[in-house]
Structures are given as structure tokens and as C-alpha cells.
């Protein structure tokens, strides 16, 4: 067995006292690495180290310019490590390398953005009555915990880390036990960039042990999680017991509305990207496709052809020509299979896909039966009003797989009603060439992010979060994320002369004259 990966704590690699975590290649079912996990004792030691680093001021009171320099240096070092990080990300997630070559290099933008934000941050001076000077600083919270999912290990870790470190906090990340390896590699990168020891730690482990110990620790001042809605509610309940701040990016069931005015080929290309990128394992996957009846059949024809083509281009994730990889695990595969079976038995028609892939890849001969490959799948309702669709779990539940359902509509109002028919409200898409319609519909769709004639655009400056509680609390990205990792510290200085203060500020003086209050 290869030497297992150790935890990253207080500026170095250390063995954990928990069980070894097997890390599986989802494309082959092979256990290719092991990782140490953190026990409650390991968590206590890491939190103590992070708290001591915070109290020392070595980072929390470091100048903003110096913190910005470290983030910029980390971006440079991260870029130098890209080839190895991409290969490792492909191996542990099963994501196609063409996806990772596009996604992972973009991570430097988050480090550079928050470095720039630090350099231009201004201190507001507030209007006050009297001779008072009231200014407000944003100061760090303390020890913060970040819990990241399996689907975008590096992306989500970096987009959380950048604002948290920029603000001056000490950060502990618990990556998914399914994909912990690339996040661990960040430790050495930040250390080489000049981040002081103790400010950043990575503790792999299982949720009920490592995650629970981190979230309930009384010294943790904020918890930031990306994951499923059920887990998010459970974590929030624990964090709330300590009155810790909480940000959660949770489930989604993104609607994508195609109007008759849209360029249909562009729209279908957008559906395929929004639905099948990461094998559909994203919180903003466009899984509910809502198409105007005038173009319903044409869109279905184009979409089924596109989907069938993608299936022929699935092979080894490391193959640059492979378009889509497997699901993350046998458990996730079984979940997707069950949802599709339930939908078909409930009256939906499977137009393309709908089953596990067990043959050799026509692209490169890879034996797909060894991994957790599932065909990209399109389901449609035989009922014009979509009555069967709305009864299925697939319409309501986050599938986290390459499965989409298609339903028609007659009026704009009906499209909006279908789009909002969900407990989730994270992402949504609209395809139309009618600018007035784009504005009109987008403001009525209940989602934190709405894309028009595109999908899954993500920029460090653009807020990313849900509008309904099942999709989470708070936002990532932008100034908002930075401020969420700080608290406002208001300082009020009285610059009146001694004589003025004696005349106006003695509340208990021996006279009946006017005296200030507030």
C-alpha cells in the first residue's frame, strides 16, 4: 500500500488517530489511495492551534496589504502545481479531464480577487451628531470551519478559503471523505506562500465523527458548508447551539425554460452543458427542462440526438476526448437508478439513456462496467399538462446524476409557475431572444442565480446562493462573502474640547440645563 496521506495541521503533515479512509477511483472501482482521518482529539488539537494563531495576531492583525501579498503568491504557486492537481482531481472525482483543465486553472481568480479587494477596502466614516468621529472596521471572526463536498473539491475549497483568509481568520477545512486529496495539497501551497503556521488546517474524516466534532466546538465562530439539504439542516442546528455564524450552499433543482424565440440549437447546447457537466453532480444542474409547446418536439429531437452523442464519447476520464465521467460511487449510482425507475413506472417516457453503462467504451475501449458510469438520460411526460411528471420524485428530489425531465408549457405564466414549483431556489436558466421577456421572467423566477442564454457562469465577484431555505443560507463570492467572514467593529471618538465636554456631557451636574443623550 502506498504511504497514506496525512492531515495538514499547524503548518505540517501529521498522522490522524482515526480510521484510514480508502479513496476510490470512480471510473474503475479501484482503491488507489488512503488518507488519515481526524478523531475528536485531533479536532480539539487543531482548533486549539488555530485559536492560538488567531489570538497571536500573526495573521488576524497582519496588514491587509501583507495578507493580499500572500494570497497573490498562493495563486502563483497554485498555478505551478496545476498539472499534478488536475490529474489527482480527475482520479478522485472521475470527472473528465477536459472539465478539470477548464475548471481548476480558474481557481487562481478567487485568490487574486480577494487580494485585490483587500487592497482597495475602505473604512466608512458615519454621519453623527456632535463632535464625534465614528468609523467602522471589518475585523475577523476567529476560528472558522468549512465543510466541502465531493463534486468540486478544489473549486469549492478555494472559493471558501479565499474570503475567509483575506478577512484574517484561522480556517479548518473538512473535505469530503470521498475526495480529500487535492484539498490536502493546498496546505503546502499556502505555507510556501507565507501563510503562518496554525492559520490553515485540513482535517479529512467522516461527517458523524470529524465533522460533528468541528461544528460543535465552542471556539468555532463560523461554519460554512456546501452539501445536501438534510445535512445542511443538521449542521446548522449544531452550529446554532453555539450561536456560531452559518453559511450553507445546499440543494438545487434548477429549472431551465426554453421559449419559442430562443435559438434552439444554442438552447440545446446550453441544456446539455447545464445538465451533464460533472455527470449532473452539481447543485445548479438544469434538471427540469421547461419548453414552450410551439417548439417542444423540435427541442426534444435536438436534445435526444445531443444526449445520445455524448454517450458515445464517454471513456476513461483521463482521455482528453472523453466528454463525461462516472458518478462518484456505487451508492450514488443506485440512487440515480432508483429515481429513474420510479419516474418511468409513474408514466414518464425514457427517450434516451436510462441505465448503467456496462459495455466497452466506443471511444477508447474502457470497460465501463468497472466504474459507476450512467448514461446521460432524457425523460419526458406523455401527458401534455405534465401531470405525471409532477408526481414523480425526480421532479422534486435532487438527483445528482445525468438525468433530466422535459415538460411543455403554453403561456409565460405557466412557465414561471413550473419553474417555481420546487422547494429549492438556487439556480435557474432562461433561453430567449426576447430581451423584454428575459427581464420580465428572470425577476419572477425564485432563484438566487438566474442565467439568460447561458448556464453555470461563476465569477469571484458574483454572489452565489439560494433564495429558498432548502437551497441554503447566505452567499458565496463577492464582497458579501468577505463581509460574512468578518464582524463590524464601530469606533466612536469624541474630539470636542475639554471645555465643551464639561459643558454638555455631565449628565449628573448640579443644574437644570440641557444635557445630551445619545
Q: Count other C-beta atoms under 10 Å from residue 443's C-beta.
A: 8
The whole-number pLDDT of residue 518 equals 61
- H or E stretch including 335? helix 330-345
Quick check: 20 and 204 in contact, CB under 8 A? no
- Convert the pLDDT of each residue in 263-309 to its tens digit: 999 999 999 999 999 999 999 999 999 999 999 999 999 999 999 99
For the question of residue 283 being annotated catalytic, the response is yes
Best CA proximity match to 257, nearest among 394, 451, 422, 392: 451
pTM: 0.95
From CA 258, how far away is CA 430, in angstroms rounded?
Answer: 6
Q: Return the percentage of the chain with pLDDT > 70, whole number.
A: 98
Point out the catalytic residue in the list 89, 177, 292, 476. Answer: 476
Q: Are strands 170-174 and 245-249 parallel, antiparallel or unpaired?
A: unpaired
Helices and strands in the chain, H and E counts: 18, 20
Grid coordinates of 402: 445525468
- Sorted by sequence, the CB contacts under 8 Å of residue 45 that are 6+ apart come out as 9
Quick check: 435 and 404 in contact, CB under 8 A? no
* C-alpha gyration radius of the chain: 26
Q: Please compute the mean of the pLDDT values over residues 180-199 and round it to a whole number.
A: 98
Q: Where are the alpha helices (DSSP H) in 346-392?
A: 387-391
- Sorted by sequence, the CB contacts under 8 Å of residue 307 that are 6+ apart come out as 272, 276, 352, 353, 376, 377, 378
What is the rounded average pLDDT for all residues in the chain?
A: 95
Point out the catalytic residue in the list 160, 174, 191, 306. Answer: 160
The whole-number pLDDT of residue 507 equals 78
Q: Please compute the mean of the pLDDT values over residues 119-132 and round it to a whole number.
A: 92
For the question of residue 160 being annotated catalytic, the response is yes
The whole-number pLDDT of residue 249 equals 95
For the question of residue 249 being annotated catalytic, the response is yes
The whole-number pLDDT of residue 517 equals 66
Grid coordinates of 344: 418511468
Quick check: 161 and 173 in contact, CB under 8 A? yes
Q: Please compute the mean of the pLDDT values over residues 333-338 and round it to a whole number.
A: 98
- pLDDT for residue 326 is more than 90: yes
The whole-number pLDDT of residue 298 equals 97
Quick check: 55 and 168 in contact, CB under 8 A? no
The whole-number pLDDT of residue 304 equals 97
Confidence at 387, pLDDT banded by 50, 70, 90? confident
The whole-number pLDDT of residue 502 equals 84
User: Terminus-to-terminus CA distance in the chain, angstroms?
Assistant: 69
- pLDDT for residue 65 is more than 80: yes
Is residue 360 helix, strand or coil?
Answer: strand
- pLDDT for residue 489 is more than 80: yes
- pLDDT for residue 2 is more than 90: no
Quick check: 296 and 267 in contact, CB under 8 A? no
Confidence at 38, pLDDT banded by 50, 70, 90? very high
The whole-number pLDDT of residue 390 equals 86
Sign of CA dihedral 298, 302, 307, 309: positive
Q: Return the percentage of the chain with pLDDT > 90, whole number.
A: 92
The whole-number pLDDT of residue 509 equals 78
- Convert the pLDDT of each residue in 197-237 to its tens digit: 999 999 999 999 999 999 999 999 999 999 999 999 999 99
Point out the catalytic residue in the list 283, 292, 306, 398. Answer: 283
Q: Where are the alpha helices (DSSP H) in 17-63?
A: 40-56
For the question of residue 350 being annotated catalytic, the response is no
- Convert the pLDDT of each residue in 428-454 to its tens digit: 999 999 999 999 999 999 999 999 999
Best CA proximity match to 269, nearest among 321, 295, 307: 307
Point out the catalytic residue in the list 99, 177, 249, 398. Answer: 249
Residue indicated by cell numbers 450553507 = 248
Is residue 150 helix, strand or coil?
Answer: coil
Amino acid at each position: 500500500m502506498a504511504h497514506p496521506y496525512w492531515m495538514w495541521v499547524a503548518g505540517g503533515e501529521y498522522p490522524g488517530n482515526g480510521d484510514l479512509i480508502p479513496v476510490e477511483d470512480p471510473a474503475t472501482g479501484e482503491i488507489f489511495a488512503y488518507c488519515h482521518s481526524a478523531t475528536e482529539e485531533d479536532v480539539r488539537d487543531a482548533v486549539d492551534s488555530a485559536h492560538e494563531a488567531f489570538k497571536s495576531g500573526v495573521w488576524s492583525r497582519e496588514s491587509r496589504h501583507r495578507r493580499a501579498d500572500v494570497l497573490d503568491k498562493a495563486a502563483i504557486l497554485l498555478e505551478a502545481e496545476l498539472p499534478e492537481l488536475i490529474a489527482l482531481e480527475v482520479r478522485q472525482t472521475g470527472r473528465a479531464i477536459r472539465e478539470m483543465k477548464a475548471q481548476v486553472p480558474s481557481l487562481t481568480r478567487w485568490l487574486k480577487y480577494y487580494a485585490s479587494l483587500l487592497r482597495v477596502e475602505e473604512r466608512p466614516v458615519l454621519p453623527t451628531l456632535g463632535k464625534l468621529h465614528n468609523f467602522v472596521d471589518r475585523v475577523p471572526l476567529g476560528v472558522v470551519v468549512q465543510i466541502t463536498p465531493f463534486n468540486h473539491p478544489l473549486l469549492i475549497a478555494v472559493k471558501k478559503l479565499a474570503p475567509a483568509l483575506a478577512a484574517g481568520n484561522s480556517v479548518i477545512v473538512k473535505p469530503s471523505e470521498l475526495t480529500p486529496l487535492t484539498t490536502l495539497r493546498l496546505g503546502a501551497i499556502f505555507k510556501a506562500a507565507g501563510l503562518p503556521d496554525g492559520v490553515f488546517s485540513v482535517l479529512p474524516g467522516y461527517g458523524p465523527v470529524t465533522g460533528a466534532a468541528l461544528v460543535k466546538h465552542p471556539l468555532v465562530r463560523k461554519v460554512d458548508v456546501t452539501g445536501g439539504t438534510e445535512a445542511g439542516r443538521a449542521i446548522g442546528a449544531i452550529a446554532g447551539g453555539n450561536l456560531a455564524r452559518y453559511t450553507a450552499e445546499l440543494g438545487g433543482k434548477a429549472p431551465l425554460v426554453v421559449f419559442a424565440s430562443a435559438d434552439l440549437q444554442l438552447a440545446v447546447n446550453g441544456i446539455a452543458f447545464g445538465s451533464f457537466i460533472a455527470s449532473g453532480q452539481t447543485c445548479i444542474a438544469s434538471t427540469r427542462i421547461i419548453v414552450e409547446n410551439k417548439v417542444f418536439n423540435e427541442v426534444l429531437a435536438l436534445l435526444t440526438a445531443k444526449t445520445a452523442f455524448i454517450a458515445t464519447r464517454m471513456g476513461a476520464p483521463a482521455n482528453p476526448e472523453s466528454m463525461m465521467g462516472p458518478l462518484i460511487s456505487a451508492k450514488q449510482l443506485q440512487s440515480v437508478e432508483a429515481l429513474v425507475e420510479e419516474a418511468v413506472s409513474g408514466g414518464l417516457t425514457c427517450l434516451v439513456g436510462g441505465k448503467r453503462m456496462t459495455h466497452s467504451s466506443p471511444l477508447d475501449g474502457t470497460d465501463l462496467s468497472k466504474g459507476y458510469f450512467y448514461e446521460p438520460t432524457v425523460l419526458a411526460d406523455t401527458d401534455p399538462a405534465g401531470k405525471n411528471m409532477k408526481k414523480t420524485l425526480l421532479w422534486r428530489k435532487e438527483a445528482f446524476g445525468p438525468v433530466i425531465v422535459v415538460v411543455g408549457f403554453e403561456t409565460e405564466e405557466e412557465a414561471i409557475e413550473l419553474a417555481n414549483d420546487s422547494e429549492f431556489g438556487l439556480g435557474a436558466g432562461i433561453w430567449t431572444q426576447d430581451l423584454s421577456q428575459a427581464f420580465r421572467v428572470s425577476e419572477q423566477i425564485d432563484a438566487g442565480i438566474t442565467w439568460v442564454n447561458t448556464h453555470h457562469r461563476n465569477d469571484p465577484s458574483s454572489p452565489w446562493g439560494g433564495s429558498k431555505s432548502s437551497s441554503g443560507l447566505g452567499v458565496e463570492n463577492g464582497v458579501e462573502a468577505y463581509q460574512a467572514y468578518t464582524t463590524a467593529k464601530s469606533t466612536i471618538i469624541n474630539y470636542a474640547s475639554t471645555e465643551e465636554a464639561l459643558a454638555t456631557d455631565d449628565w449628573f451636574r448640579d443644574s437644570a440645563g440641557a444635557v445630551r443623550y445619545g
